[in-house]
């Protein structure tokens, strides 16, 4: 497996529609050992072969294959991502640093324009939108206007950066959440330059960057300083990771959602103490999941303790690229490259993993997680027992239930980037609307999708009006309640809390529910799928057993 220091890695290729393409021939060069590697380590191997030279490259390759002996390694390798993704709160300090360094160059009599990121940097302004207005037709416009007023100085600086710096692109407020934009617009999955192909690999300054793993792009979250180093062309160092293989078998039952699967994966992997490992999904069950469903599971990687939650490229990946308007020639190129380079999903393959966890998809049920941690998994009908166990005794009378639902939010790129989940929520809203149901007045309802594309397909399906009718109109396109930007609680909830009459609960389609995370005054919250958020919102009571009791009693 030795590669001479000055010899470039062996290349092979294929012809597609009369065009010749080449790529590094890992399978031909390393044979059976290459096939034993998890796909995430094959990607790190490709990255090392493409970006390293000489002894450094030889040492990295040797360390990656030595990993096979024990499924673990203490060796470090350099990883060179091809692009950087940031959100507004992490990008601002980094861009301020660049501006200051440019000033220093100018003072030294040098051209400040010489200092620019060498990698493409995409900044999404998504972490500043708060849910002030809701359940009214102008909610989205009102919340956006408030966001612009509150952050005007910072946004002016970001606009300057987008014009003054090369390779920096700012996606302004109202264009969506960074991870959804990455999925729908930014990710190429496979990069091409003059006929040479290689995988799309990236880092982002947010822990949920692994969402892009759902369509076969290797990426993970880093800190702002690390990203700032990388954007100037320096690699990031990492220990060759342990890789947990999650073998999926069977098929999800009708009505069971990708959210239910993501929460199940979170519970199972937290139970075995995953902490910083790479996770890769394999087995025949993977092929039954849509790309959107995979992205929901991949997004929860930090909640199940992993650095990645990777799904290899297959037909579902290509379907997603077509659905999001990628060029047909590019989609064909992605599929051909993945197959030729040995990076495509083989449902029958059993690579070497550090540990393997088995999950039967047909055993996953409708679940909620909470009321304080994302790994605390329960059947959705058990919320009454869970809350009763807390022993809250009201000190005053109130028309609100003692565990009234104060916030019901369809929020977070975790679940709003999967069209199936939003369509399911819309269909439930349609039935509720036909029955004349609305959420009780004490429930703060909101729908904050990952991008305006969600509004388009919900409107085309006639479901946006149904969601608005039951209180779930769009409040904007940003992280909103998922990161605690939930805005003030309804006055009647605040009054009842002050009187000691209620201990309210939040229900949301987000990824974290730690005490105070959703709202500083709320210590209880359940994570659940978007349609289940609507069902609980209509009930208004977190102690309702929705498996056996009506959501409401109509006139």
How large is the average pLDDT for residues 328-349? Answer: 98
How confident is the model at residue 1, as a pLDDT? 47
- pLDDT of 7 reads 86
Cα separations (Å) of 24 from 50, 67, 197, 210, 313?
A: 8, 21, 8, 25, 17
Model confidence at 37, pLDDT cuts 50, 70, 90, reads very high
Confidence band for 5, pLDDT divided at 50, 70 and 90: low
Q: What is the pLDDT of residues 210-225, one digit of tens each?
A: 999 999 999 999 998 8
Mean pLDDT score of the chain, rounded to an integer? 96
Task: Compute φ and ψ for 453, nearest 5 degrees.
Answer: -60, -35
pLDDT in the model for residue 554: 80
Is-cis flag, bond preceding 251, omega within 30?
no
The token pair at 356 is: 């393997």
How crowded is residue 358: how many other Cβ atoms within 10 Å of its Cβ? 12
Q: Could you read off the pLDDT of 242-298 as tens digits, one per residue?
A: 999 999 999 999 999 999 999 999 999 999 999 999 999 999 999 999 999 999 999
What pairing do the DSSP bridges indicate for beta strands 505-508 and 83-87? unpaired
Mean pLDDT along residues 99-127: 94
How long is the chain? 555
Rg of the chain in Å (alpha carbons): 24
Q: pLDDT for 431-451, tens place per residue? A: 999 999 999 999 999 999 999
For 507-545, b/e burial (b = at least 16 CB within 10 A) is: bbbbbbbeeebbbeebbbbbbbbbbbbbbbbbbbbbbbe
pTM reported for the whole predicted model: 0.96
- Separation of alpha carbons 481 and 522, rounded Å: 12
In the structure, what pLDDT confidence band is assigned to residue 415 with cuts at 50, 70 and 90? very high
pLDDT, average across residues 55-84: 97
Mean pLDDT of all residues in 507-527: 96
- 463-475 pLDDT tens trace: 999 999 999 999 9
Dihedral sign, CA of 313, 357, 512, 531?
positive
- What's the mean pLDDT in 184-198? 97
Closest CA to 298 of 312, 286, 308: 308
Q: Which helix (H) or strand (E) holds 44?
A: helix 39-51
Residues 6+ apart with CB under 8 A from 91: 121, 123, 158, 205, 224
pLDDT level of residue 3 (50, 70, 90 thresholds): very low
Question: Among candidates 138, 39, 125, 37, which has minimal Cα distance to 85?
Answer: 125
């Amino acid at each position: 497996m030795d590669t001479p220091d000055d010899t470039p890695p062996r290349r092979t290729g294929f012809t597609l529609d009369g065009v010749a393409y080449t790529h590094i021939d890992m399978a031909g060069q390393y044979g059976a050992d290459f096939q034993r590697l998890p796909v995430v380590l094959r990607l790190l191997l490709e990255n090392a072969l493409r970006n390293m030279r000489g002894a450094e490259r030889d040492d990295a390759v040797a360390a990656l294959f030595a990993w096979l002996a024990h499924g673990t390694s203490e060796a470090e390798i350099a990883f060179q991502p091809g692009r950087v993704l940031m959100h507004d709160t992490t990008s601002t300090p980094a861009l301020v640093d660049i501006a200051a360094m440019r000033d220093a160059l100018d003072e030294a009599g040098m051209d400040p324009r010489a200092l620019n990121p060498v990698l493409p940097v995409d900044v999404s302004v998504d972490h500043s939108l708060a849910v002030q207005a809701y359940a009214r037709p102008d909610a989205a416009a009102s919340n956006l206007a408030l966001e612009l007023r509150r952050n005007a100085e910072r946004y002016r600086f970001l606009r300057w950066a987008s014009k003054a710096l090369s390779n920096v692109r700012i996606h302004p407020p109202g264009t969506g959440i960074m991870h959804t934009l990455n999925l729908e617009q930014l990710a190429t999955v496979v990069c091409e330059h003059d006929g040479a192909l290689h995988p799309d690999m990236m880092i982002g300054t947010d822990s949920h960057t692994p969402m892009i793993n759902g369509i076969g792009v290797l990426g993970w979250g880093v800190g702002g300083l690390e990203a700032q180093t990388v954007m100037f062309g320096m690699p990031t160092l990492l220990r060759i990771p342990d890789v947990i293989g999650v073998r999926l078998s069977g098929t999800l039952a009708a009505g069971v959602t990708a959210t239910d699967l993501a929460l199940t994966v979170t519970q199972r992997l937290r139970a075995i103490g995953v902490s910083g490992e790479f996770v890769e999904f394999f087995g025949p069950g993977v092929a039954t999941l849509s790309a959107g469903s995979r992205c929901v599971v991949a997004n929860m990687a930090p909640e199940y303790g992993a650095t990645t939650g990777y799904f290899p490229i297959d037909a579902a990946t290509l379907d997603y690229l077509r659905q999001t308007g990628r060029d047909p020639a590019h989609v064909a190129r992605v599929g051909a490259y993945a197959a030729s380079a040995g990076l495509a999903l083989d449902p029958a393959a059993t690579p070497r993993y550090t540990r393997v966890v088995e999950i039967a998809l047909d055993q996953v049920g409708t679940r909620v997680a909470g009321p304080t941690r994302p790994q605390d998994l329960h059947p959705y009908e058990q919320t009454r027992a869970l809350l009763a166990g807390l022993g809250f005794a009201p000190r005053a009378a109130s028309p609100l239930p003692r565990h009234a639902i104060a916030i019901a939010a369809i929020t977070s790129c975790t679940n709003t980037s999967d069209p199936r989940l939003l369509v399911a929520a819309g269909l439930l809203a349609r039935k509720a609307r036909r029955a004349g149901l609305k959420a009780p007045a004490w429930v703060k309802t909101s729908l904050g999708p990952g991008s305006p594309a969600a509004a388009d397909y919900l409107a085309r399906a006639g479901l946006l009006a149904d969601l608005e009718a039951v209180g779930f109109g769009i409040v904007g396109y940003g992280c909103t309640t998922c990161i605690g930007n939930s805005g003030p609680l309804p006055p009647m909830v605040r009054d009842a809390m002050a009187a000691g009459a209620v201990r309210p609960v939040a229900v949301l389609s987000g990824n974290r529910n730690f005490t105070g995370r959703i709202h500083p005054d709320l210590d209880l919250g359940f994570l659940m799928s978007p349609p289940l958020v609507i069902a609980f919102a209509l009930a208004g009571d977190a102690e309702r057993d929705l498996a056996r009791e009506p959501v409401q009693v109509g006139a």
